């Protein structure tokens, strides 16, 4: 059946609308908000492997769409923020970590205990738990700059438990994973420029079990990040 002139015009109009809609969505994801799949467990128990986290890309700065060019700042990072940062190794997958130190802060870790500017950041640990394979796990609630968040410690693992002190340079930040003994973070790759911050993560949009056929983790979908260790899963 041949298209009439009127049908062709309608089809072209629909295509233009779809293209405009796609452009708006992609532009919004580029500069305003986006989501990221987290492939590793470095932020357990806050973020699990397979979580898709919601990120405000405009939380700290506004960029020209689809570029690294920053137009202006929109906010200041704060201690305790969960941030998405450009891969420090140059890879395409960003890192998701907790912001521990701001410019000028002195960061130190003494046998798993975090100090910021010489002040201990207290952590209250629950009784020891076991992983599925019997490994001991400690879950605790740490207070960082007056904000609480969970941490995970694996006491039987060889780990980088003492670090610093180190002073965070101007225009840079110090990042750590909540899964303290299983995280490649600033203890290994150093401080990172604030311009590399891609946004602030605020919660879990969607979560799929790593054992694919177990399906979605329904209890994690559409929820903000937990702020303490009670109720967190050790695995």
Domain CATH for 180: 2.10.109.10
Decide if pLDDT at 49 tops 70.
yes
Instruction: Please give the tally of structural domains in the chain.
Output: 2
Q: How confident is the model at residue 25 (pLDDT cuts 50, 70, 90)?
A: very low
Both 25 and 40 in one domain: the answer is: no
Both 62 and 119 in one domain: the answer is: yes
Residue 167 CA to residue 107 CA, distance in Å, equals 6
Which of 72-81, 108-117, 123-132 holds the top average pLDDT? Answer: 108-117
pLDDT of residue 209: 85
- C-beta of residue 61 within 8 angstroms of C-beta of residue 197: yes
Q: Which residue has the higher pLDDT, 63 or 1?
A: 63
Residue 214 falls in the annotated catalytic set:
no
Active site residue: 42, 44, 183, 207, which one?
42
Active site residue: 57, 97, 183, 207, which one?
97
Residue 119 CA to residue 134 CA, distance in Å, equals 34
In a domain, 230, yes or no: no
pLDDT of residue 74: 77
Q: Alpha-carbon dihedral of residues 73, 76, 77, 82, nearest 10 degrees?
A: -70
Both 58 and 169 in one domain: the answer is: yes
In a domain, 93, yes or no: yes
Decide if pLDDT at 130 tops 60.
yes
Q: Quick: pLDDT tens for 174-211.
A: 999 999 999 999 999 999 999 999 999 999 988 988 77
Both 25 and 128 in one domain: the answer is: no
In a domain, 128, yes or no: yes
In a domain, 235, yes or no: no
Peptide bond between residue 165 and the one before it cis (omega within 30 degrees of 0)? yes
In a domain, 161, yes or no: yes
Helical segments of the chain, H only: 5-31, 186-189
Residue 76 falls in the annotated catalytic set:
no
User: What percentage of the chain reaches a pLDDT higher than 90?
Assistant: 54
Which of 34-38, 181-185, 218-222 holds the top average pLDDT? Answer: 181-185
In a domain, 98, yes or no: yes
Both 25 and 38 in one domain: the answer is: no
pTM of this structure: 0.85
pLDDT of residue 20: 53
- C-beta of residue 140 within 8 angstroms of C-beta of residue 126: yes
In a domain, 231, yes or no: no
Buried b (16+ CB within 10 A) or exposed e, 40-55: bbbbbbbbbbbbbbbb
> Which distant-in-sequence residues (6+ apart) come within 8 Å of 148 by Cβ?
141, 142, 227, 228
Length of the chain: 235
Range of the structural domain that residue 97 is part of: 34-224
In a domain, 233, yes or no: no
pLDDT of residue 15: 61
Q: Quick: pLDDT tens for 77-122.
A: 999 999 999 999 888 889 999 999 999 999 999 999 999 999 999 9
């Amino acid at each position: 059946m041949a298209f009439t002139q009127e049908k062709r015009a309608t089809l072209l109009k629909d295509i233009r609308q779809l293209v405009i809609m796609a452009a708006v969505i992609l532009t919004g994801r580029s500069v305003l908000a986006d989501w990221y799949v987290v492939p590793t467990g470095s932020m357990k128990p806050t973020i699990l492997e397979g979580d898709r986290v919601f990120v405000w890309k405009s939380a700290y700065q506004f960029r020209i769409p689809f570029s690294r060019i920053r137009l202006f700042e929109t906010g200041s990072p704060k201690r305790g923020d969960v941030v998405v940062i450009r891969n420090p190794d140059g890879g395409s997958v960003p890192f998701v970590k907790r912001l521990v130190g701001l410019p000028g802060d002195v960061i130190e870790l003494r046998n798993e205990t975090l100090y910021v500017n010489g002040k201990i950041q207290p952590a209250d640990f629950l009784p020891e738990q076991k992983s599925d394979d019997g490994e001991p796990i400690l879950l605790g609630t740490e207070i960082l700059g007056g904000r609480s968040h969970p941490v995970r410690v694996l006491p039987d693992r060889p780990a980088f438990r003492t670090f610093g002190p180190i002073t965070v340079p101007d225009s840079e930040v110090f990042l750590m994973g909540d899964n303290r003994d299983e995280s490649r973070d600033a203890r290994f790759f150093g401080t990172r420029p604030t311009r590399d911050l891609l946004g602030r993560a605020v919660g879990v949009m969607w979560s799929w079990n790593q054992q694919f056929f177990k399906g979605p983790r329904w209890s994690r979908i559409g929820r903000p990040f937990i702020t303490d260790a009670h109720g967190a899963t050790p695995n």
